[in-house]
Amino acid sequence: MLDEILEFNKQFVANKGYEKYITNKYPDKKIAILSCMDTRLTELLPAALGIKNGDVKMIKNAGGVISHPFGSVIRSLMVAIYELGVKEVMVIAHSDCGACHMNSGEMIEHMKARGIKQETIDMIHYCGVDFASWLDGFEDTEKSVRGTVHAIVNHPLIPSDIKVYGFIIDSVTGKLTKVNVE
Question: Using CA atoms, how far apart are residues 169 and 20, in angstroms rounded to an integer?
Answer: 27
Residue 94 annotated as part of some ligand binding site: yes
Question: Does 100 carry a binding-site annotation?
Answer: no
Does 38 count as an annotated binding residue? yes
E-strand ranges in 8-55 read 31-36
- CA distances for 79 relative to 73, 96, 157, angstroms: 10, 30, 11
By DSSP bridging, strand 163-169 and strand 176-179 are antiparallel
**31-36/88-94 β-pairing:** parallel
Edge-first strand listing for the sheet containing 31-36: 56-61, 31-36, 88-94, 163-169, 176-179
**97 annotated as a binding-site residue:** yes
DSSP state of 82: I
In the chain, count of helices (H) and strands (E)?
A: 7, 5
Annotated binding site for Zn(2+): 36, 38, 94, 97
Annotated binding site: 36, 38, 94, 97
